Amino acid sequence: MTVDLPIARRELIAGRLEAGQAVSAPALAAEFSISEDAIRRDLRALAAQGRCRRVYGGALPVTPATAPLTERIHQDRGRKEVLASFAASTVRAGQLVFLDSGSTNLALVGHLPEDADVTVVTNSIPIAAEVIARQDLRLIMVGGEVNLPVGGCVDASATTQVERMTFDRCFLGACAISPINGLSVHDFDDGTFKRILLARSRQTLVLATTEKLGTSARHRVADVAEVGAIVVEPDAPDGEVQSLSDAGATMLRAIPAQVQPA
């Protein structure tokens, strides 16, 4: 197949990404009879336009779960606030709480109990900034190289730091949740980091917006039965919730604050 114009070639590649296909630089170079450097320039241009997420050797489609954290913060804010409010009500005074990087966990900060001697540990700069703004929460920042698509530190340095702690409660992020493939993520290091978090936490909750249910990503973190509970939206599909429950997951529906029982 021969496409002479770089713009036309990029549009063909973009079309595949928009259809949900991952693309490989070596395969594209062979298909279009051009160098891998030229394909990488195409992928850089598409990534700059927000039309793909670059990974080693190629690119992935942009989905709600793979979009940069700076974009995800503003998506479906109301739905995330309902999940965050419900989840924060499970936090008790004096607890050491880990907030994994993610836009729903960012929303959770504002709902944590006030003046309750809660210490928040996080690998996310946006979450850390929200915690500092509260002034009544203690903060431990897990550092390392910031992984931009993940929105936090998940490298070997960050992993070593969390291995030395034991968390009363962890709010674990996940890109996809499936009865068969469990919790999974798009980034290899992120998957490794989350497995350590799960092992170092007495109680783990996953806050799951509905679009993540019944989906899978490349890197598996754990079976759904291995986490303490999965918190879903009030109107999450009954079939998806039942399938996860049948796979051993403890499922909780977030009840909006205004209708919670006394």
Say if residue 17 is in the same domain as residue 100: no
Map residue 96 onto helix, strand or coil. strand
What's 48's domain CATH number?
Answer: 1.10.10
What's 220's domain CATH number?
Answer: 3.40.50.1360
What is the end-to-end Cα distance of the chain in Å, rounded? 66
Residue pLDDT, tens place only, 164-201 = 999 999 999 999 999 999 999 988 999 999 999 999 99
Q: Is residue 66 one of the residues assigned to a domain?
A: no
Q: What is the value of pTM for the model shown? A: 0.74
Say if residue 48 is in the same domain as residue 103: no
Say if residue 156 is in the same domain as residue 211: yes
CA distance 160 to 88: 27
Q: What local confidence, expressed as pLDDT, does residue 74 receive?
A: 56
- Percent of the chain whose pLDDT exceeds 90: 71
Residue pLDDT, tens place only, 229-259 = 999 999 999 999 999 999 999 999 998 754 4
Position 207, amino acid: L
Q: What is the DSSP string of 17-50?
A: HHTT--EEHHHHHHHHTS-HHHHHHHHHHHHHTT
Q: Is residue 1 one of the residues assigned to a domain?
A: no
* Higher pLDDT pick, 137 / 211: 137
Say if residue 112 is in the same domain as residue 227: yes
Q: Is residue 34 one of the residues assigned to a domain?
A: yes
| Contact by Cβ (8 Å): 59, 17 | yes
For the chain, the domain total comes to 2
Q: Which domain holds residue 90?
A: 71-259
